[in-house]
Structure 1
């Protein structure tokens, strides 16, 4: 396995240049270093700050031009330096070999400053003016820089140079370019000297893809196919023998009678990296579609584009069938549920499990042991596809989906068209759950995924989702996503014209024992209805009277029904999560979403607006009829006048 022949061409398709910013204290040799590498001669005089300098594409083997940015050192120019650092692909940080205090400043000022600016690019620490160091005070660079590199992992390498004597000047920018094109940090942990988890997961996926006979080893033919695909050069039989011998000596379990195992494959890549040949591993990763973050490049994924805000993206039947097969494959104990360990193994070829954090954590129903049944597994995928289609498609591919990626996702019809057709083509519905604080929104969401009622009130501070399937008529299952909108986030939620485009149905939850809660829910309903009337993205709305187990005030039912009648929506659905009296609420939410032409509230403002439009349209029709009558009358008169003129002649 070798990467020498193809790394440059592979990388060049991903990056057109490397922008290297040179920073450091005053008089540490920045400008002289840049001028010398550009001209291959040491200048007698040099400007304090040079303009951008370009090293052509053929300067280094990777075939990528390097743009070098010089920076000033004065305090008043600090904003300019900060701006350049934020645009950098790599940073060359200089100190003067004859000024020990400048090396101290590298550690105490410059590296912390780069971190403060959140500049997350590789740093090359360079000692300039090596020729001026006092020969009586030599330093061991490895011993000097070791502790600094331990503290600042962003340092890619350290070296010293002399522009005056043309010592290691080109190497400075070669290492900077190499750090941009073949960074160490995403692949290798310098402290533990091991491959990083994302790198291991990516290489495991690549190994599985190349193991065509699925015997958990790469035989000679598979190894050669891999080599040709990545490097365009086959391995000679003697080279294959040598590779196996090296692996066998260091990792006995890395080779068996069938070929190189996954352990051996990973060992080889760790060996390349330890020897400084990162371009080999990066060539492999990029050939299989990975970017610098060791993720599949999302811009290359064929995610269908939505033509309208009120469309959404769902998994196709083909993708769902694939996921069912994956579920069964990793259900190793055949208990029809995935344990944490089985789920970890399922996602072991992905960068990480996508469901460990919000909004997916705790979004679906689990068994008493915390395991995931098939329906919950598919619900997680439905939620991920709704919220982040490109991530969903990427993870399908990580898991081994080998069908046409363009056929894994589908775009639904516009909801406005569904309203006209009075039917929907959607299988996944999203319900925004609005309501004042302590109304019972979180309890509703928790009950949807089978979690027990909690007496203690905890204020939810972030947007929260739960998702489950709902049985409809004739055994049809629909997937319902509940999205809790906090009262404090309500204005932000409705901040744009398209705010309600992704919402198929809106539920307004209020505490049925609290008169203020009902009033506030009514205000929220009015605002949502007005937004829908103004934007054209009106949604069916439901009123949900929560905490029906509590004693209501005397006119509670009458007041709530009056509110619903005023905007022409159904009477409130009365529920008690505590007593598990849910009044078929989730089924009714899905029904409202399916019958999207019904249940859209009308405010007085909307009725007046509609009446005005009807008057305008009526006036336009009358005007059109009048104009047509005038045209006909004028034509008739002209015909009459023409006949009269002809008879007179």
Structure 2
């Protein structure tokens, strides 16, 4: 397989190389020799920025080389340049051993102190001046240093006088930026990095058209043409198979090149220093340096107003259903952890292993993910991270038009006017004081058993599930718990309620203080909705209904609901499993966005004033219209009298 060309640069428009090292190590002479392809005795102590043209190396990416001074008074400028570097060339003098010692005793430690995250090329200059009577092995000397400082990409010796390996210094520096080793290969284990394996597995599967686990001659040729615009000759295909089979018996079978063989080939390229070949393949399929799909490979982000949301289309939902059935190998209606890991084996990682997705959905008692849970995770990810959701669809094999996988819902303000919504996924905010029962409500929603122990929620938490409605209609509901001490920060954003379809306020029905605090939160959120124009339907939930209710709380809740114009509080008991159909009722409130929107006294007065003001304008308009009509009639009458004379 041939290597990559300029396309392998992955869209990089330039490489900035900063050359550093002790005084007298030959930095300026090295740069001048590379730029002029000749040696000069008279070189400035510090050269101005030097530019090598795009056609200097095969990747056709221009290089800017920055010379630096090692003087203490120039340290500030040096640090600034280092922080702007794409790659560092660190020099020592082959005829001055102390400068070699200074690499690890000063320079490499300094790079770490500055928290630089760029590759380093170590260069021994003036190799022509080294004492031939003291033979030295570069590998022997640099091996231990490279073990300690993994940021060192490679080491090379050169001579500006004889021009020996001078261009190679900057070729390797450019290559370290455009085709870095670290994302692909683990030097410690001498194996491909996990993310690299996942990306190559996805590419392998894309070309395994007959899904037999091997690339036959035609499939291998399709891969070659796609990546390198050149077909393989029959003899070359035979040669590829022979090379793989000699080193990896599992890499070839009667059907063709297996995944093991495909991965082995790329390990071989990297071992031979042909990283550009593997990078050319990865970049052809949209991967960036982090081995995730680049933003420019995905459709442009969907534009939407704050009160619009993004959902998977019917086509995309059907695709994920098929994927679920494909990986549910025992047809038990749930994916085991190993099956879920296999499903995402072509993604950079399982996206649901971390918060907010981990533990957000329904699972069986064995910890397996049900179909409802699987669909719910996709709905949650699409709402929170639409582009991440789209990327993961592509990772697991979505073959449709990426632009048709997501759609933007209608604005909530329009839904309210039409008194109905077309959404399939609804977002509910869960407010309430500490120990009111918010987390227990979320646990009940995703089928978790009741627990007497109370563990305060440290931050925001999500629970999502598919809700079965009367008539067989199914909608997805996302509950988002807002801790009491996080409400102020949440409401500091004017548009914080814009993304929500409904809000619930939970209180402990046996605790008067819990009711008072929940009521305060309700009024606070209602005012925010009135001021921002993003008021949402709201419900009150009286939790812990198995305990003796506080009489005053019951009376006050009835009064407050009437005053605010919302439905009566809903009693629930997670302990007894009596949830009073609360999730269907939450969903119903979300589906009727014009109802149950709380109205405070101040909001009602403002509304009345606005209506009065509008009526005044109407009366003024009507009066003005009558005046105009009267004037027109008077003029007409006057005109008729004048004409009759």
TM-score, normalisation: structure 2: 0.94
The answer to whether the 8 A contact 2:542-2:571 is kept is yes
Structure 2 residues not aligned, in runs of 5+: none
Secondary structure of 1:555's partner? helix
Match of 2:448 in 1: 451
Equivalent residues in 2 for 1:27-46, closer than 5 Å: 27-46=24-43
When structure 1 is superposed on structure 2, of 15-24 and 319-328 the one drifting more is 15-24
CA offset digits 1:150-206 (Å, max 9, x no partner)? 222222112233334433222221111111111111111112211111111111111
Q: Name the counterpart of 1:378.
A: 375
Contact 2:7 2:59 in 1 (8 A): no
- 1:174 and 2:171 are equivalent in the alignment: yes
Cα gap change, 1:261 to 1:104, in 2 (>3 Å)? same
How far did 1:32 drift?
A: 3.6
The Cα shift of 1:218 comes to: 1.3
The verdict on how the C-alpha distance between 1:587 and 1:81 changes in structure 2, with shifts beyond 3 A counting, is farther
Q: Which residue of 2 aligns with 1:624?
A: 621
CA distance in 1, matches of 2:105, 2:31: 25
> Please, which of 516, 527, 534 is the counterpart of residue 531 of structure 2?
534
2:6 touches 2:58 (CA, 8 Å); kept in 1?
Answer: no
* 2:58 counterpart residue number: 61
SS of the residue corresponding to residue 114 of structure 1 reads: helix
Q: Match of 1:326?
A: 323
CA distance in 1, matches of 2:176, 2:601: 64
Q: Deviations over 1:442-482 (max 9, x none)?
A: 11111211112222222221221111111112011111111
Distance change >3 Å, CA 281–CA 549, structure 1 → 2 = same
RMSD of equivalent CA atoms: 2.3
Q: CA deviation at 1:47?
A: 4.7
The answer to whether the Cα contact below 8 Å between 1:304 and 1:410 also exists between their aligned partners in 2 is no
Alpha-carbon shift at residue 552 of structure 1 (Å): 3.9
Give the 3-state SS of the residue equivalent to 1:562 in structure 2. helix
Q: How does 1:88-107 map to 2 (within 5 A)?
A: 88-107=85-104
Matched, 1:207 2:204: yes
1:108: how far off?
A: 4.2
Compute the displacement of 1:593 (Å).
0.7
Q: Given the superposition, is the C-alpha separation of residues 39 and 592 from structure 1 closer, same or farther in structure 2, using an over 3 Å criterion?
A: same
| Structure 1 equivalent of residue 119 of structure 2 | 122
Aligned 8 A contact 2:28 2:47 in 1: yes
Shift of 1:222: 1.6
Distance change >3 Å, CA 574–CA 86, structure 1 → 2? farther
Match of 1:85 in 2: 82
Partner Cα distance (1:77, 1:462) in 2: 47
Please point out which of 224, 228, 231 is paired with 2:228. Answer: 231
Contact 1:529–1:538, Cα closer than 8 Å, also in 2 = yes
| Alignment pair present for 1:314 and 2:311 | yes
Q: 1:579 to 1:56 in 2, by over 3 A?
A: same
Given that residues 8 and 276 in structure 2 are in contact (C-alpha distance below 8 angstroms), is that contact kept between their aligned partners in structure 1? no
Write the distance in 2 (CA, Å) between the matches of 1:605 and 1:31: 74
Instruction: Determine if the alignment matches structure 1 residue 266 to structure 2 residue 263.
Output: yes
Moved more, 630-639 or 278-287: 630-639
Aligned residue for 1:158?
155
- State the TM-score, normalized to the length of structure 1: 0.94
Q: Residue 466 of structure 1: SS of its match in structure 2?
A: strand
Contact 2:198 2:346 in 1 (8 A): yes
Which residue does 1:368 correspond to in 2? 365
Give the C-alpha shift of residue 72 in structure 1.
Answer: 4.6
1:501 aligns with 2:489: no
State the alpha-carbon separation in 2 of the partners of residues 180 and 485 from structure 1. Answer: 43
Tell me if 1:2 matches 2:2.
yes
| Structure 2 residue aligned with 1:549 | 546
1:247 pairs with 2:244: yes
What is the distance in 1 between the residues matched to 2:609 and 2:21? Answer: 69
* TM-superposed deviation, 1:306: 3.2
User: What does residue 344 of structure 2 align with?
Assistant: 347
**Closer, same or farther in 2 for the Cα pair 1:638/1:37, shift >3 Å?**
farther
Q: Say how many residue pairs are matched.
A: 645
Contact 2:9 / 2:179 at 8 angstroms: preserved in 1? Answer: no
Give the distance between the partners of 1:49 and 1:259, measured in 2 at CA.
57
Which sections of structure 1, spanning at least 5 residues, go unmatched? none
Which of 559, 563, 568 is matched with 1:562 structurally?
A: 559
Task: Please give the alpha-carbon distance, in whole angstroms, between the structure 1 residues aligned to 2:74 and 2:450.
Answer: 60
Report Cα offsets for 1:246-272 as digits up to 9, x if no partner: 111111121122211111111111101
Range with bigger deviation, 527-536 or 301-310: 301-310
Which residue pairs with 1:415 in the alignment?
Answer: 412
